[in-house]
Amino acid sequence: MPRRGVTGKGDHLVIRAGVAAASLAARAGLRSLLEQVPGVQVRFEFSNLASFKPAEPLDLLVILGAQLWSTLSPDDIDEAQVEAILVLADQPEIGGELASLPIDRWGILPENASLDELEAAVLALGQGLTVAVPGVLNHLLQTRQMGVLVRQTDSEIETLTDRELEVLQLLALGLANKQIAQQLEISAHTVKFHISSIYSKLGAGSRTEAVRLGLQQGLILL
């Protein structure tokens, strides 16, 4: 995002956004915040997503509230040609629902997310990354919804285990082996074992490369 329908001059990209909130005041507030993010233009506002049919494809749909999110159908998302969805809600289980949608780019932030958090999320989604707070990551790991297949070669596919995904996430945060061991309550030797396995499965030769490949594969949540 944006990959299609991008307008603008030179290197300036326009992100066509839609906002969904139950009340007029909430929609106005969300629009005001989003339009402070460079490149974002709010084209549509929705008070109800039960029959979600925007007049044009959207680069980004921002939804405020779990109740409103629950009214959106996956079929409607596919038909509406939405590139990315960002939900502002405090229920971590929504992360699992987002991960099952027919889109590659999604994110979830708290309902009271700041302008800086919104801007960072929009930029991350634009780079093809997944956006979530730690509580959502933990929920996904606990429910095994982060059992993502990683393609190592054209003919071989390997899976990162839940523990390897946790280690990879902590590598992305810049933690040393001892810090990772303390965080996960395992030995430093076990951490080295997991890192070696991660390198092998991702085809990486260093921490930096493993993190880069993990980001590209959507294995690391920001």
Q: What is the 3-state secondary structure (H, E, C) of 169-218?
A: HHHHCCCCHHHHHHHHCCCHHHHHHHHHHHHHHHCCCCHHHHHHHHHHCC
In a domain, 57, yes or no: yes
pLDDT band per the 50, 70, 90 thresholds, residue 145? very low
- Of 108, 131, 154, at which residue does a domain stop? 131
The closest alpha carbon to 88, from 120, 106, 110, belongs to 110
Q: Which residues contact 134 (CB under 8 A, 6 or more apart)?
A: none
Among the ranges 16-20, 96-100, 204-208, which has the highest mean pLDDT value? 16-20
What integer is the mean pLDDT of 18-42?
A: 93
Q: Which residues contact 165 (CB under 8 A, 6 or more apart)?
A: 141, 146, 148, 219
Residues belonging to the chain: 222
Domain extent, residue 61, equals: 15-131
- Of 67, 97, 131, at which residue does a domain stop? 131
In a domain, 7, yes or no: no
Confidence at residue 98, expressed as pLDDT on a 0 to 100 scale: 80
Confidence at residue 75, expressed as pLDDT on a 0 to 100 scale: 72
Same domain, 158 and 210: yes
In a domain, 114, yes or no: yes
pLDDT band per the 50, 70, 90 thresholds, residue 103? confident
What total number of domains does the chain contain?
2
Distance separating alpha carbons of residues 16 and 79, to the nearest angstrom: 17
- From 5-9, 70-74, 102-106, 129-133, the region with the lowest mean pLDDT: 5-9
